[in-house]
Chains A and B, each alone.
Chain A
Amino acid sequence: MNEARLPEGTAPAPAEGAPRWPLWEVFVRSSRGLSHVHAGSLHAPDASMALRNARDLYTRRNEGVSIWVVPSDAIAASDPDSKGSFFESPQGKDYRHATYYTKSEGVKHL
């Protein structure tokens, strides 16, 4: 399936001129009750400074009440090429949607 990231220690060595500080992905919760949403990324030497940088960079206008920072290389992502096989095909599974059930049309509160 090939969607998992490389096991620890097998990642390619950083190329010449690679960033001196690790990259962090920033997620911002815009208000209580909502999910954190990916806002962008930044470089910082550690998590606490990444949080401060994220506050200055992504919430200059009260855009958030909470921030997550995650080291970019800690994120495992699905492989875009496996779209067909990795994500379940909705083909022939209309019955998972309420719109499939038409006989109850017109029945109140259903």
Chain B
Amino acid sequence: MARNVQPAGQPAPQNAMEALTPEDAAGQENFDRIIAKDSRVEPKDWMPEAYRRSLVRQISQHAHSEIIGMQPEANWITRAPSLKRKSILMAKVQDEAGHGLYLYSAAETLGTTRDEMMDALVAGKARYSSIFNYPTVTWADMGAIGWMVDGAAICNQVPLCRASYGPYGRAMVRVCKEESFHQRQGFEILLELANGTPAQRAMAQDAVNRWYAPSLMMFGPPDDDSPNSKQSMAWNIKRFSNDELRSRFVGMLAEQVKVLGLTLPDDEIRFNEDTKKWEHGPLDWEEFKEVLAGRGPCNAQRLERRRSAHADGAWVREAAAAYAAKQAAKQSSTNAQKAAA
């Protein structure tokens, strides 16, 4: 809650070796004890600078993903096939905005302002999940996104509810409660299409084919190519490796797709009896890196839309500030009159 984590204008030592004051030494000892006990770190606690930086990066990227993630689905709000579907989609997109805000406020407890994070996103300096740089070309994509993209997000986020940083874990609890509706409504869209006309069925299958691999890549690069993962797990931020989570997710999809009566575009999916893990075919990690580097199908469009939305909202922010100032002035003149009476 309290945010006086670093006195303003006085950056913490970048290198712990440089300035190991007695406070730092005691802080480190306390921090190590908290992590060893699998307890939680709270905003006012001393924490290693690298832990703080790593959290700011992860939580702000997560927040940006929720915010940018509104766009592919917002694309279909005006064209939803029924009023019911339109209301559901609007509620889902509104939830994603909420998730972004929960996460920004969690990141702020680490001493980074929301404006700094927003500015980094709009300036194209911040990363967000590569999945949101793919286009949504049919209504069935709303189904595939809910089922697979939100599904992968849930797999990733449930263990994050136990992340060692208290505010992050608490934000994730709130997010996870809301996500299950997202996945179910997507599954239902696909189920309806899969049981519809041959054209609807083909549309559903096409959407599953296109979103399958990108959703698997949402868990991040393979373990041997994921340098930050180890440290993140040692700090109890991450609980399971990228490949572990991906394997679990594939197992869930493999069962659920049967209910849909559709297929996954991967004939190498199998349960390995020896390792007790689900396996899948190769993924195109070159494509992943390209999209992450800003060269995906919709990167430019997503950022441009974010920028214009922010600029278009300027008058609302100004009006709200003007209204607040007017109310405050009214209040103080009333107070003055009362005092004079």
**Stretch touching chain B among A40-48, A88-96, A98-106:** A40-48
Is A19 located at the chain interface by the 8 A CB criterion?
yes
> Do B98 and A57 touch across chains, with their CB atoms under 8 A apart?
yes
Binding site for A on B (CB under 8 A): 1-4, 7-9, 26, 30, 42, 44-46, 91, 94-95, 98, 101-102, 105-106, 108, 113-116, 119, 170-171, 174, 178, 317, 320-321, 323-325, 327-328
Task: Tell yes or no: A72 within 8 A of B by CB.
Answer: yes
Residues of A within 8 A of B7 (CB): 12
Contacts of A13 in B (CB 8 A): 8
1/0 per residue, CB under 8 A from B, across A34-58: the answer is: 0000111111111011000000010
- A40 / chain B contacts, CB cutoff of 8 Å: 102, 105-106, 170-171, 174
| Residue numbers in A under 8 Å from B327 (CB-CB) | 46, 48
Tell me if A49 and B3 are in contact (CB < 8 A): no
> Is A17 on the interface with B (CB-CB < 8 A)?
yes
Partner of A41, one of B8, B94, B105, B317: B105
Total A-B pairs, Cβ < 8 A: 77
In the bound complex, what is the Cα–Cα distance between A54 and B105 (angstroms)?
A: 13
Nearest 8 Cβ contacts at the A-B interface: A45-B324, A46-B324, A12-B8, A15-B8, A77-B2, A41-B105, A80-B44, A45-B321
Count of chain A residues with a beta carbon within 8 Å of a chain B beta carbon: 32
Closest-by-CB residue of A relative to B103 is A40
Residues from chain A with a CB closer than 8 A to the CB of B102 are: 40, 57
- A18 at the B interface (CB under 8 A): yes
Query: Known contacts being A18-B113, A23-B108, A40-B174, is A45 close to B320, with CB within 8 Å?
Result: yes
Interface centre among A38, A40, A79 (most CB of B within 10 A): A40
A-chain residues with CB within 8 Å of residue B324 when the two chains form the complex: 45-46, 49
Residue in B closest to A77 when the chains form the complex, CB atoms: B2
| CB-nearest residue of chain A to B177 | A61
Decide: A19 and B44 in contact? CB cutoff 8 A: no
Q: Mark A14-41, 1 if CB is under 8 A from B, else 0.
A: 1101111101010000000000001111
Tell me which residues across on chain A come within 8 A of B178, comparing CB atoms. 61
* B105–A60 touching, CB < 8 Å: no
A42-B105, A45-B323, A46-B328 known; A60-B115 Cβ under 8 A: no
Cβ of B114 and Cβ of A43 under 8 Å apart? yes
CA distance A71 to B42 in the complex (A): 19
28 A-B contact pairs sorted by A residue (CB < 8 Å): A12-B8, A13-B8, A15-B113, A17-B113, A19-B115, A20-B115, A20-B321, A40-B171, A40-B174, A41-B1, A41-B105, A42-B101, A45-B320, A45-B323, A46-B323, A49-B323, A49-B324, A57-B98, A60-B94, A60-B95, A72-B1, A72-B2, A72-B3, A75-B1, A75-B2, A80-B42, A80-B45, A81-B46
> Bound state CA distance, A15 and B108, in angstroms?
13
Residues of A within 8 A of B105 (CB): 40-42
- Give A contacts to B, CB under 8 Å: 5, 12-15, 17-21, 23, 25, 38-46, 48-49, 57, 60-61, 72, 75, 77, 79-81
Chain B positions within 8 Å of A43 at CB level: 114
CA distance A41 to B94 in the complex (A): 17
- B113 lies within 8 A of A38 (CB): no
Contact B171 A19 (CB under 8 A): no
Q: Who on chain B is nearest to A53 by CB? A: B101
Point out the residues of chain A lying under 8 angstroms from B320, CB to CB: 44-45, 49
Which B residues are CB-close (under 8 A) to A12? 4, 7-9
CA distance A44 to B170 in the complex (A): 22
